[in-house]
Structure 1
């Protein structure tokens, strides 16, 4: 299992606006194409104005297939353009990570 760890850094005071747009427009499409996320978070202490999404996939191939179908959807392209036009974000980053040997991501528990 792999995880797509995505970090979106908003301009100062723009994170609530970005999250509102995402929740109303982007999230429903992602749920349709990508299924349920592992989690959504925002920074509370440390580097502020960041939203974090973590999406699980069985493999890189599954990720490419699901994200490819989403990217081909004209409504997703319209949403992406709207994110650009609002200029809420300063930066977007993603990493592909895997669980360490002593953690079971399916049960979200430490293996003893």
Structure 2
């Protein structure tokens, strides 16, 4: 698997006992848009040990410019607002980090 220089590491904390509903809304409303605008994800995870009710997803990018362009496409997609409206009551908090691979640091 190719290492992506930049990874968007997102953690959503979901309301207790609402993970199933969130995943259904995410799969139905968000994933078609995300695949169209962001491409294929690196992975999806839920917490097993540690802080509970967390949904983690990772998306890889070639550069900060690539991240900005694809994120703008996602945010301006005409159907994305439907996902935001349908999921808003399920999300307690969100943390977004852009992380760089060690390979990207060595290229500087």
State the TM bucket, normalised to the shorter chain. Answer: 0.7 to 0.9
Partner of 1:92: 94
Give the drift of 1:15.
1.0
Partner of 1:39: 43
How far apart in 2 are the matches of 1:77 and 1:93? 19
Aligned CA RMSD, in angstroms, stands at 1.0
How far apart in 1 are the matches of 2:37 and 2:77? 10
* Helix, strand or coil at the partner of 1:96: strand
CA offsets 1:49-88 (integer angstroms, 9 cap, x no match): 100000000011111101101111120112112212xx11
Q: Give the length in aligned residue pairs.
A: 99
1:48 aligns with 2:76: no
Partner of 2:81: 77
TM-score by length of 2: 0.87
Higher RCO (CA 8 Å, separation ≥ 6 residues): 2
How far apart in 1 are the matches of 2:31 and 2:52? 22
* Helix, strand or coil at the partner of 2:79: helix
Partner of 1:17: 21
1:5 aligns with 2:9: yes
Shift >6 Å, 4+ stretches: none
Match of residue 28, structure 1, among 11, 29, 32:
32
Q: Where in structure 1 are there 5+ consecutive unaligned residues?
A: 102-112
